[in-house]
């Protein structure tokens, strides 16, 4: 009798072990299926690339971009040029405002609520210490960095009035006469500040300048706002 009970116990243990193995295998298979079912992250988009060919003579250049457009640079006569084309740093400023305008147009479309952007009027100035580029001797460290130190200016944002009540209609979407108008102007001012912050974060040229240590002291304003 004792032998029968011992044999039955061994059979029960083996049966329990088999069930545990089946349960473990099922759990592992389920986990594997869950991992296999998760979609892989999308691949990054291809990098944007820009190309040009240029010829330099004296202190000027003529550049042909990969898209076929042409640009030229020169320096003032006092610096050895003919003053016939913009200076390179002036084109850098033009690149900044061009990039900010394009970025603002994109950001305005994706703001909530959507910002009805009509245009932006830019008035920028840049400053640098000329010793960074011209101090001699060439082998000695210059007494100042050659890069721009700061870009300062104002970006005045012009907004379209929407066809109905809401942001930008001057009425703030509410009643109350003057109170509603003030609320509408306040909302538009806040939207312009949000736009300016988004542009600085997203504009490739602005981010390149910031990474180089250039201070961007740009004030974003609602055009026609007497405050």
What distance in Å separates the CA atoms of residue 160 and residue 171, rounded to the nearest whole number? 14
Question: Is 81 found in the same domain as 128?
Answer: no
Q: Which residues pair with 154 in a beta bridge?
A: 123, 219
Question: Is 180 found in the same domain as 99?
Answer: yes
Identify whether the C-beta of residue 208 lies closer than 8 Å to the C-beta of residue 216.
no
Question: Is 153 found in the same domain as 56?
Answer: no
Q: Which of 218, 202, 216 is nearest to 107 (CA)?
A: 202
Query: Is residue 205 pLDDT above 70, yes or no?
Result: yes
Question: Is 21 found in the same domain as 62?
Answer: no
Query: Is residue 150 pLDDT above 60, yes or no?
Result: yes
Give me the pLDDT at residue 174, please: 43
Question: Is 141 found in the same domain as 77?
Answer: no
**How many structural domains is the chain composed of?**
3
Question: Is 77 found in the same domain as 157?
Answer: no
Please measure the distance between the N-terminal and C-terminal CA atoms of the chain and give it in whole angstroms.
103
Q: Which of 48, 146, 153 is nearest to 100 (CA)?
A: 153
The larger pLDDT score, comparing residue 126 to residue 19, is at 126
Cα 171 to Cα 85, 132, 175, 181, 225, distances in angstroms: 47, 52, 7, 4, 15
Question: Is 91 found in the same domain as 78?
Answer: no
Contacts of 149 (CB under 8 A, 6+ apart): 127, 128, 129, 214, 215
Question: Is 78 found in the same domain as 153?
Answer: no
What distance in Å separates the CA atoms of residue 73 and residue 115, rounded to the nearest whole number? 36
The total of other beta-carbon atoms located within 10 Å of residue 190's CB is: 12
> How, if at all, do strands 60-65 and 52-57 pair?
antiparallel
Query: Is residue 73 pLDDT above 60, yes or no?
Result: yes
The total of other beta-carbon atoms located within 10 Å of residue 117's CB is: 22
Question: Is 111 found in the same domain as 82?
Answer: no
Residue 73 phi/psi, 5-degree rounding, is -130, 155
Query: Is residue 8 pLDDT above 70, yes or no?
Result: no
User: If pLDDT is split at 50, 70 and 90, which confidence band does 169 have?
Assistant: very low
List the domain range (segments joined by +) for residue 58. Answer: 51-86
What distance in Å separates the CA atoms of residue 56 and residue 66, rounded to the nearest whole number? 17
Question: Is 112 found in the same domain as 206?
Answer: yes
What distance in Å separates the CA atoms of residue 61 and residue 14, rounded to the nearest whole number? 87
Running DSSP on this structure, what letter comes out for residue 64? E
pTM for the whole structure: 0.76
The larger pLDDT score, comparing residue 175 to residue 93, is at 93
Give me the pLDDT at residue 20, please: 47
């Amino acid at each position: 009798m004792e032998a029968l009970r011992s044999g039955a116990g061994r059979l029960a243990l083996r049966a329990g072990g088999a069930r545990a193995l089946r349960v473990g295998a099922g759990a592992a298979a389920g986990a594997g299926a869950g991992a296999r079912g998760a979609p892989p992250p999308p691949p990054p988009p291809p990098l944007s690339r820009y190309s040009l060919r240029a010829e330099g003579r004296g202190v000027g250049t003529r550049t042909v971009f990969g898209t076929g457009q042409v640009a030229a640079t020169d320096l003032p006569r006092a610096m050895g040029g003919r003053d016939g084309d913009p200076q390179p740093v002036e084109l850098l400023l033009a690149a900044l405002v061009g990039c900010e305008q394009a970025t603002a147009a994109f950001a305005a479309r994706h703001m909530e609520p959507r910002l009805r952007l009509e245009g932006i009027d830019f008035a920028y100035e840049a400053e640098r210490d000329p010793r960074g580029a011209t101090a001699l001797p060439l082998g000695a460290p210059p007494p100042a960095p050659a890069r721009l130190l700061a870009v300062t200016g104002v970006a005045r944002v012009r907004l379209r009035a929407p066809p109905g009540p809401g942001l930008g209609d001057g009425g703030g979407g509410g009643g109350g006469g003057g109170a509603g108008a003030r609320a509408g102007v306040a909302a538009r001012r806040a939207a312009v500040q949000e736009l300016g912050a988004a542009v600085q974060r997203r504009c490739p040229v602005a981010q390149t300048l910031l990474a180089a240590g250039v201070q961007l002291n740009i004030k974003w304003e609602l055009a026609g706002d007497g405050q």
